[in-house]
Structure 1
Amino acid sequence: MKKTFQLNVGALALDDLQTLHAGGVTLTLPMSAREAIRQSHAVVAAAAAGDAPVYGVNTGFGKLANQRIGAADLDTLQLNLIRSHSVGVGEPLAPAVVRLMLALKAASLARGYSGVREVVVDTLLAVYNAGLIPCVPSQGSVGASGDLAPLSHMTLALLGEGEMLEDGRKVPAAEALAKAGIAPLRLAAKEGLALINGTQTSTALALHALLSFEPVLESALVIGALTVDAARGSDGPFDPRIHAVRGQPGQIDVARYYRALLAGSEIRHSHEENDDRVQDPYCLRCQPQVVGACLDQLRHAALVLLREANAVTDNPLVFGDTQQMISGGNFHAEPVALACDAMAVAIAEVGAIAERRIAMLIDTGVSRLPPFLTSDAGLNSGFMIAHVTAASLASENKSMAHPASVDSLPTSANQEDHVSMATFAARRLQPMIANTAHILGIELLAAAQGIEFLRPLKSSMALEEAHGLLRAQCKSIERDRYLAPEIERATLLVRNGALSKVFRALTAVETGAALPALWIAV
């Protein structure tokens, strides 16, 4: 039996959003939200019955806002809006993204500023609770006037006119609704506009990236520490005093993570004396500064996205206390776009410094390990071309990290003359995460190989656990063999939470207390 989850509208926390993203719960609304919905709908109902022009109720949309619509056609106006705006293209959005879209739209409408009837919110919840996934094409939104095309496709499915996804195949929405016992939604005044005006698609895509990247970043910290030991790097750069005098919180936390990961390493103790290297390369020494700065950006993005997930972003907004409807621009997704651009740079940088660590490990002049991490270099190429793959992925990420938010094309006959491109800004994060995860998978293989050249010395308990997780999937590489499948298996450890468990079990060296989480606890 599924657990009941009350949608605490306007006050969802990041762990709530993680639950909504994962699915498997039954959503309910608090009674206070229902009263707010009724009050705002009464304002719209009065406007629909009156003679004054009200945008989205008895007028056309966008550049056609000066066209009056007769009372007999108000419901048809909303239906036509959904049909005409369902023009997306491309592959369907992932089920987890669509689940978030349904839940976030329900939470936004339930705050009582959109003027819809309760049945609209109830239908969104019923579709979510039934596990139905509207088929939403991934391309076609510029992230202003709301995510119009994707939210229209979502709404079309609620009307029984679009499509749903079942086990990856498209089925008629009417058929899926009937099987689930859900009546197709029939739209009244303003309801189509309220459903598609908003940032729920770009926000859902961005949250999907944030949640997807969390285990990858945790893995990056574990693997980065393993590389420090494989290269017999110093733990001096992680001394808390260095980071305290700068005061950057992400940097302070990352140094703390590295101290915990390296604590008790025999390898570290083996070269505390008689090591003629004065300073390590930046890819080792500056990990707190680089990854910590990325962490700060990601934490800020998490705060922005949390606010947006709780926001009301349609237009016009309905204020029941004063019986007013006021036009504005909350549908403009600039906050999401800028947050996603910051995330893109952070994701690219985590991959970029990992690629540099691989290059350092295979360079015997720097790491003092055998060339290309093979004991019979020449006959064997070792990690020579695996590094080339990592370099190609890091370069791809640099191109994709170009800010999407600075590219605006006017739409709707120049009525909507500045747009955010937030939906693409968020959507492009998934291939970037995949690239970074693969770079880290290659580094994990390389660092584990480096550690084995230092046996019988052992690394720390945490890093030996990480090494063991890899070796349970991929044997030591003593001579050249087919590596592509092993890169995939190592990458799966990066993405599936296996290395995250190592990270989350850490305690602070100084106090033994649990370490601060990344950003899910923001």
Structure 2
Amino acid sequence: MTTTVTDAPVDLAAPLTGDHLVRAAAPLSVLVGPAARERVDRGREYLRTVLADDERPVYGAKTGFGALIGFAGRDDEADQCDNTLAHLGAGQGPDLPVDVVRAALLVRTWSVAQGLSGVSGHVVDGLAAMFATTFAPAVPRYGSVGASGDLIPLAYATQALRGRGHAYLDGERMPAGDALRRAGLTPLTLDGRDALALVNGTSVTTAALTLALASVRASHRAAQDLTCLLVDVLGGDPGFLDPRLIAAYGHPGAASVADRMRSRLAGTVPTGARALQEPYSIRCSPQLLGAAEDALRYVDGVVAADLGGVSDNPLFFPGDDLVAHGGNFFGQPAAYAADLLAVVTASVGNLAERQLDLLVDPVRNTGLPPMLAAGPGRQHGLQGVQLATTAFVAELRRAAVPASTQSLPTNLHNQDVVPFGTQAALRALDLADLLRLLCGSLALGLRQAVHVGARRPTAPHCAALLDALSAAIAPVDPDRPLDGDVRLAADLVTAGRY
């Protein structure tokens, strides 16, 4: 099987970025250059030295796992690999999305390539080769507590790379051995340390959080643009964005959001038909979206630290002759960040739903027809879409309960506190999809509003956004199913294609 890879390669000796993880959904070139190879080989050589010393304990290479650390492991290295992985085949539920799994494996590959995990060089080479294909392990969603890393999901991924279990190739689910063969990949051969290094990190959590952040950031930008378009088509006054007013508020996120919104509304001409003070969903939007910006900057920092850190146990430091046993597989930072991201998503989603509710209400939309129907009664315009957005917001609110506060002891109290970062991050990714749909729903409403009597925007940026929506989506006249139109509008506004 041949696959065309067009983007610049990911160099394992250079920093890993969120953009790399987004790109990992498609075939990707991953470079194991001289610097990365030297680190990996040095770490592996040091591991061999340590293992030859009967007086030096090494968790997972000479011992059992988790609560069974007090017992000896298997003598044969290949058997110790099976000893690592077999008992972790306990996941349940639907498969994780392919983009999450491939992003997780890219995080894992970068982490072990830093040379602190003691893995074999051929393991890094095999992982790098996988990314040039469409291969993706089939990994069940449920089973990780994110405390000793994402043990169970990463065990499924590792087994698939060995040719066991199931995998996807070109979107088709099949036995992993068949997928490897069709992709032209060689099954990985692992010893106990290799296997443990591949499962003992928070890579699924980090990947899901990174992808969720990228999606929410795109929706957050779209929410700013759609708020500006709402102000313009209603003929509102952008005075609530006055730089002196926002500066007095004192929050940096609000200042940056208001700056961007002012640029989008540059050139708008108020009609004077709106009330002196708009509802909070318009007037307080820079404060709300600005607070979201401040929170997203915190999540940015956590993601950057996760992508730049080594998540494993133990770690090997050849220069200091140190085998360090500790807790760098504990996903608490990502758990907090994902919970915060869920709260941001629920808040911004609520704003979009309230703005659509304002737009379809003739009492508050400056006289546009109810539900933006082209012929009220004979047609129903955005009525179904507005009902759906109410359901989306209810789901956002229900799911925004923090996961990081739900710690439960497990593993014979070896893992007596756990972060549940995996649940938090995967939940944040789910909610990010709902936020996209809420942005798409509002965008569709704004496109329809102009069709039924709202003015054409007077700000050039707002006019460009409306024109892009109008070119992609026909007016709702007569009624038709709008589910596809909502998704199309969501794609357009979150991609910024205008």
TM over 0.5: yes
- What SS class does the counterpart of residue 301 from structure 2 fall into? helix
- How far apart in 2 are the matches of 1:309 and 1:199? 10
1:511 equivalent in structure 2:
none
1:488 aligns with 2:484: yes
- How far apart in 2 are the matches of 1:499 and 1:113? 38
Which range moved further: 377-386 or 34-43? 377-386
Query: Deviation per CA, 1:8-35, whole angstroms, max 9, x where unpaired?
Result: 446223444443x343331112212212
1:136 equivalent in structure 2:
139
TM-score by length of 2: 0.92
- How far apart in 1 are the matches of 2:41 and 2:447? 61
Contact in 1 for aligned 2:352/2:438 (Cα 8 Å): yes
- How far apart in 2 are the matches of 1:322 and 1:188? 24
Contact in 1 for aligned 2:28/2:133 (Cα 8 Å): no
- How far apart in 2 are the matches of 1:87 and 1:409? 18
- How far apart in 1 are the matches of 2:454 and 2:359? 16
- What SS class does the counterpart of residue 277 from structure 1 fall into? coil
1:163 equivalent in structure 2:
166
- How far apart in 2 are the matches of 1:8 and 1:343? 28
Offset at 1:394?
A: 0.7
- How far apart in 2 are the matches of 1:310 and 1:212? 21
Query: Deviation per CA, 1:306-329, whole angstroms, max 9, x where unpaired?
Result: 210121111011111122211100
Aligned in 2, Cα 1:94/1:332: closer, same or farther, shift over 3 Å? same
Which range moved further: 466-475 or 332-341? 466-475
1:269 aligns with 2:270: yes
- What SS class does the counterpart of residue 270 from structure 1 fall into? coil
1:284-303 mapped onto 2 (5 Å cutoff): 284-303=282-301
- How far apart in 2 are the matches of 1:190 and 1:458? 62
Contact in 1 for aligned 2:234/2:366 (Cα 8 Å): yes
- What SS class does the counterpart of residue 72 from structure 2 fall into? coil
**Structure 1, gaps ≥5 residues long:** 503-522
Aligned in 2, Cα 1:6/1:418: closer, same or farther, shift over 3 Å? same
Query: Deviation per CA, 1:196-224, whole angstroms, max 9, x where unpaired?
Result: 00010111111121223333223222222
Report the residue type matching 2:496 in the other structure: S
Contact in 2 for aligned 1:225/1:258 (Cα 8 Å): yes
1:172 equivalent in structure 2:
175
1:55 equivalent in structure 2:
59
Contact in 2 for aligned 1:264/1:459 (Cα 8 Å): yes
Contact in 2 for aligned 1:10/1:111 (Cα 8 Å): no
- What SS class does the counterpart of residue 318 from structure 1 fall into? strand
1:183 equivalent in structure 2:
186
Aligned in 2, Cα 1:384/1:178: closer, same or farther, shift over 3 Å? closer
1:44 equivalent in structure 2:
47
How many correspondences in the alignment? 492
Contact in 1 for aligned 2:129/2:185 (Cα 8 Å): yes
1:317 equivalent in structure 2:
315
Aligned in 2, Cα 1:497/1:372: closer, same or farther, shift over 3 Å? closer
Offset at 1:419?
A: 0.9
Contact in 1 for aligned 2:12/2:30 (Cα 8 Å): no
2:16 to 12, 18, 28: 12
- What SS class does the counterpart of residue 194 from structure 1 fall into? helix
- How far apart in 1 are the matches of 2:187 and 2:128? 13
1:214-233 mapped onto 2 (5 Å cutoff): 214-233=217-236
1:510 equivalent in structure 2:
none
Offset at 1:97?
A: 1.5
Which range moved further: 25-34 or 369-378? 369-378
Which range moved further: 221-230 or 323-332? 221-230
Which range moved further: 452-461 or 294-303? 452-461
- How far apart in 2 are the matches of 1:277 and 1:99? 51
- How far apart in 1 are the matches of 2:374 and 2:492? 32
Contact in 2 for aligned 1:47/1:57 (Cα 8 Å): no
Aligned in 2, Cα 1:259/1:377: closer, same or farther, shift over 3 Å? same
- How far apart in 1 are the matches of 2:12 and 2:155? 25
Query: Deviation per CA, 1:149-202, whole angstroms, max 9, x where unpaired?
Result: 111011101212222212433222222323344332222241111110001011
Report the residue type matching 1:434 in the other structure: D
1:357 equivalent in structure 2:
355
Contact in 2 for aligned 1:215/1:495 (Cα 8 Å): no
Aligned in 2, Cα 1:496/1:194: closer, same or farther, shift over 3 Å? farther
- What SS class does the counterpart of residue 449 from structure 2 fall into? helix
- How far apart in 2 are the matches of 1:198 and 1:301? 19
Which range moved further: 329-338 or 133-142? 133-142
- How far apart in 2 are the matches of 1:152 and 1:41? 21
- What SS class does the counterpart of residue 390 from structure 1 fall into? helix
1:84 to 87, 99, 121: 87
Contact in 2 for aligned 1:159/1:185 (Cα 8 Å): yes
Offset at 1:379?
A: 5.1
Contact in 2 for aligned 1:238/1:288 (Cα 8 Å): yes
- What SS class does the counterpart of residue 493 from structure 1 fall into? helix
Report the residue type matching 2:281 in the other structure: C
Aligned in 2, Cα 1:276/1:419: closer, same or farther, shift over 3 Å? closer
Report the residue type matching 1:361 in the other structure: L
Report the residue type matching 1:460 in the other structure: A
2:343 equivalent in structure 1:
345
- How far apart in 2 are the matches of 1:478 and 1:182? 53
- How far apart in 2 are the matches of 1:38 and 1:381? 67
- How far apart in 2 are the matches of 1:102 and 1:60? 25
Aligned in 2, Cα 1:380/1:28: closer, same or farther, shift over 3 Å? closer
Identity, % of aligned positions:
33
1:463 equivalent in structure 2:
462
Aligned in 2, Cα 1:122/1:280: closer, same or farther, shift over 3 Å? same
1:93-492 mapped onto 2 (5 Å cutoff): 93-265=96-268, 268-271=269-272, 275=273, 277-370=275-368, 371-374=370-373, 376-378=375-377, 380-454=379-453, 457-478=456-477, 481-482=479-480, 484=481, 486-492=482-488
Aligned in 2, Cα 1:311/1:476: closer, same or farther, shift over 3 Å? same
**Structure 2, gaps ≥5 residues long:** none
- How far apart in 1 are the matches of 2:98 and 2:66? 30
2:72 to 64, 68, 71: 68
- How far apart in 2 are the matches of 1:459 and 1:88? 55
- How far apart in 2 are the matches of 1:499 and 1:96? 18
